[in-house]
Amino acid sequence: MRLIILGAPGAGKGTQAEGLSKKFGIPTISTGEIIRNALRQGTELGKEAKQYIDRGLLVPDDVVIEIIKERLVQDDCKNGFILDGFPRTVPQANALDKMNITIDKVLSIEVEDEKIVERISGRRQCSQCGATYHIIYKPSKVENVCDTCGGNLIMRQDDAPETVENRLKVYHEQTEPLKDFYAKKDLLTVAFGQEEVSDTTEEVYKALGVE
């Protein structure tokens, strides 16, 4: 299964990708996570990306295309993968086409803008290992402490309300056109995001035709 997940920031792409990844035994590749890791480690890539991320802008296409190219040739991608957060622009989608990889399906998770803003305000992330939580929908066992590593849970800097507005705008302008792009290739399937993670998962399974 080679799957692309589309959706606005905070639509639940990462959470659904994590579940599908376990279910199918294939890796999730999140360009956002790769970039945030680089940020935490203070690499060149991290430094370059920071100026864009903090303003809610996309990192330049050539940068993320290079990241994906290097990632998809690794061994663990042989039996499939889930792309979370890539492609995010038409040029990125064209670049993926050129890599000669057959995509099986493109899943779009739909959530209204008003809900997005509310959801993102509750998002938390482990400052050490990057595990993701939500104060209502996916709380940690102990408040502000990571279940996996005991690290401190913090809000992503780009989850600040002003930045979220920008990210939504960027999503509608630059990423949403990809729905048409993949619908024309007959690859698009849609799931509507629900209040509860498990209900969304059910919608996702239906959309993908899996049990």
Joined together, the tokens standing for residue 186 give 């007959």
Q: How far is the CB of 211 from ligand ADP (least distance, A)?
A: 27
Residue 13 falls in the annotated catalytic set: yes
Cα–Cα distance list, 207 to 108, 109, 140, 185 (Å): 9, 10, 29, 17
Q: How far is the CB of 200 from ligand ADP (least distance, A)?
A: 15
| C-alpha gyration radius of the chain | 16
Indicate whether 10 belongs to the interface with ligand ADP (CB under 6 A).
yes
Residue 71 falls in the annotated catalytic set: no
Site for ligand ADP in 69-108 (CB under 6 A): 85-86, 88, 92
Amino acid at 187: L
Joined together, the tokens standing for residue 56 give 């809610």
Task: Pick what 126 binds: Zn ion, ligand ADP, none; C-beta below 5 to 8 Å, kind-dependent.
Answer: Zn ion
Instruction: Burial-class residue 85 by CB neighbours within 10 Å (0-12, 13-18, 19+).
Output: buried
Residues with a catalytic annotation lie at 13, 88, 123, 156, 167
Residues within the interface to ligand ADP (CB under 6 A): 9-10, 13, 31-32, 35, 52-53, 56-59, 64, 85-86, 88, 92, 158, 167
